Structure 1
């Protein structure tokens, strides 16, 4: 079974490709939806989530005489690249095993009057633990940037009201890239109550180019390839063999189709950072944002599958196998189901031989990549041990039983 399932339907892709009317109206509807979820006053669209982050940091550097920024060490390298290339002094805190979040105690020790911003990356965390981070950062009078790239539509219930992820940051950023649950080739957004930033970005936006055609054509090609790979018949007779071979031979040009983060380590800013969101991405985002019923069905389906995996995997008694701490099934509604397992290389090959493709790479220990240090022990462990199991709509409970059974067989042989 193929792990990747792109949320954008072919029908909406073709509609988005050939429509160029009502772009501003659709843009405003997207921004309004983000405002409702994030409980902010302002929202703007960007060509990518990381571009939103880039302009937020540029604005903060201009406004404040501070240069330190704090990240969770287990992170997407491209986000660290942005801070590095803006000459910020980067500090890392480890990921906390219990909360799945930047470690509270380490953050408390590293916050100072030199801290420009803290990045809260929503990965495996629940709302209550995230709220504690917000309160700590606020107490230090520091800016909190909430990275909501993989948590869109996730929420917690407070007093019978849905409180969505993206609600905590002074700035909250969103991604609509090809692998996300709003899948629009490229695209991102930011929400904030900071009117000064909105005015700043309006001026910056005037200097930006229209989105470049070549990256968009490449992304459309990847979209079509991945859509074809998700057809079960084609996957079984062709694509599983290509995937297996690319893993065994470490063919990065193919692996990058499944793991875009492989392309983002220690690179300068590409030209399309300095461009506006494309009309195609606006249209594709609009059709998905508009279809609330479909998003809700997929959200609930993932939640059921998370609980099913958790119940089944909990029965596997093995010291080298761990499940993450899930306290809130609505807020921690991951796009894939994460587990920690030692010797994940062997497990990956074992599952591939059974026709099962998993998410083998997630994020990286960025302290090791950018500082050449290994003090963040949990981040190193997550990089080496974390894999993700498929929970998309085409995955059935029988498929999940097959995955769990093979993980159990693998663990019993060790």
Structure 2
């Protein structure tokens, strides 16, 4: 039996499990403690915990909509990103507007963002894909002068920095995800970041108005944490893979749940937070090794990383120019026990045809090119330097 290392996942240890168990009996104060500790880690205020990054984004949209003219309806976002981002935009009564990615950075093309802003634009969602920061510092003031809000999506880039600042805290408002497979995880969860204290009360009320979970649901959450602590470890992942595969996202989400964060996950988060620096350091090390080992392969396209950035890779993205070779490389890596992923194999307007501004020709060619050829390589802490060398060897041979 080949033992498979999963493509993503943060392992939990006995102190994590014990601390999360205490959360069953703790009050909402545990959530406040976790939020304050997050603020201490980032060195900035203010953070509000939610049940998911999607909910965090939704609350932000509701808040911005409430303080803006009623004709401001558009939310600009990249054509290649998580399809689930469309759901909170629509639920908030707003309209998604897509822009293409930049072929060199794999992130949204900032110049195209500026060209897409109209009087109807409420906000620009700056998505830091794969952990790679978007360099938007030079246009931030230009966007602000147009009376448009910048929202940072740091769901996949927690720990990454650019110009010495953490992604998610560069703009005045942003959000993070603590879901399975993110840079760090509390099983699930999200964080809203607000720089301005005057907005804190209103946003906290929106989050506080969401339903809370019962004691029985807290116990269920604890059981899931225990299960995940085993499931992300290579041996158990391999043995349990037929069962685990049922819980992987394979279809387009139709909706999302919104409720308050709970004390079990907050308690877990307090303990995992102690390891943030080492988790982020290992992700950066693994990504840097992959970059160095693959950069001279002419059959690949690697993202151009921004200057003055410290990239904490969620996963390491490569574009395999030959689509057949992408499939071959995927299989060869799996044969030696290394799981990789294709992420989203279509851009947003192929999931949601109504978002396409042109049905006759492809409006976002770079997003389509990326979607069809993208292979994500694991960078999480369970990937050893020896496994990184194996990945480099196989990718260079078969891609």
Name the TM-score, length of structure 2 as normaliser: 0.84
Give the distance between the partners of 2:13 and 2:59, measured in 1 at CA. 31
Q: Does 1:5 align with 2:5?
A: no
Alignment equivalent of 1:323, drawn from 302, 314, 317: 302
CA distance in 1, matches of 2:96, 2:234: 44
C-alpha RMSD over aligned residues: 3.0
Q: Which of 308, 311, 327 is matched with 1:345 structurally?
A: 327
Q: Is the CA contact 2:39–2:45 (under 8 Å) kept in the aligned structure 1?
A: yes
Partner of 2:48: 44
- Following superposition, the deviation at residue 170 of structure 1 comes to 2.2
Q: Cα offset for 1:128?
A: 7.2
Superposed CA deviations along residues 197-238 of structure 1, whole A, max 9, x for unmatched, are: 4322343345332126787777666655554354444556x4
- Are 1:268 and 2:255 an aligned pair? yes
Deviation at 1:345, TM superposition (A): 3.0
Q: Deviation digits for residues 165-198 of structure 1, max 9, x if unmatched?
A: 1222221111112222331122211121344543
> Number of residue pairs matched?
384
Q: Is the 8 A contact 1:176 1:285 kept in 2?
A: no
Matched, 1:138 2:144: yes
Name structure 1 gaps, 5 residues minimum.
Answer: 244-252
Report the equivalent of 1:248: none
Q: Which residue number in structure 1 is paired with residue 381 of structure 2?
A: 393
8 Å contact from structure 2 (residues 329, 394) kept in 1: no
State the partner residue of 2:283: 302
Post-superposition shift, 1:397?
2.2
Q: Do the aligned partners of residues 59 and 110 (structure 1) sit closer, same or farther apart at CA in structure 2, a change above 3 Å counting?
A: same
Q: 1:105 to 1:207 in 2, by over 3 A?
A: closer
Task: Give the 3 Å change call, closer, same or farther, for CA 363–58 of structure 1 in structure 2.
Answer: farther
Large movers: runs of 4+ above 6 Å: 213-219
Query: Is 2:23–2:30's contact at 8 Å kept on the other side of the alignment?
Result: no
Residue 5 of structure 1 and its aligned partner are, at CA, apart by: 3.1
For 1:135 and 1:9, the matched residues in 2 are separated by: 44
Match of 2:311 in 1: 332
Please tell me whether the aligned partners of residues 56 and 197 of structure 1 are also in contact (alpha carbons under 8 angstroms). no
Could you say what secondary structure the match of 2:136 adopts? helix
2-side partners of 1:279 and 1:391: how far apart? 29
Matched, 1:378 2:362: no
Corresponding residue for residue 182 of structure 1:
184
